[in-house]
Structure 1
Amino acid sequence: MPADGRSIQIEGKQALFSLLGVRFGGDGKTSFNIPTVQPVPDANGKGPLLSCIAVMGVYPMRP
C-alpha cells in the first residue's frame, strides 16, 4: 500500500505492527499508522516514484 501515513487496523497485521509500533501514530490498541514518504523523482526525471510499504508476507527480524 502507498506509504501515505494512513491508519490501519492491528488485527491481521500484527507482524507489521511489531516492526512499526505507534512510531508514526495510532492508538497502539486497535490501530497504527504507516509512515508518510514523499514521492521522489525517478532517475530519468520523468515522474515521481511512489513509495510503498509491504503489508503482507514475512518480515525481517529487527536488529
Structure 2
Amino acid sequence: MPTSFWRSVEAQEQLNRLDRSGFAMEFLRRNPDYRKDWSRMRRRIAQGTLGEDAARSDLARRWGLSFCP
C-alpha cells in the first residue's frame, strides 16, 4: 500500500484486520528510521559490502525481527 494511503479509511480497515505480526510489520514499514535502515541494508547488499545473511542478521538484531528462511 503506498504511503499516501496510510490514513485512508480503507487503510484503517485493513489494519484492523491484521494479526499481531502483520500489525507489527505495518508499524515498522511506516517508521522513517526503519525505512532508512532497510534502504541502507539493501544498498550494502547491492554494493557487495555485506552479504545478505549478515545484513539481515544485523537488521534483525537492531529492530528485534526474525526472518522466515
Q: Shorter-chain TM-score: which interval?
A: under 0.3
More helix by share: 2
Q: Where is the strand percentage greater, Structure 1 or Structure 2? A: 1
Question: Greater relative contact order (Cα 8 A, min sep 6): structure 1 or 2?
Answer: 1
TM-score (normalizing by structure 1): 0.24
Q: Which has the larger radius of gyration?
A: 2
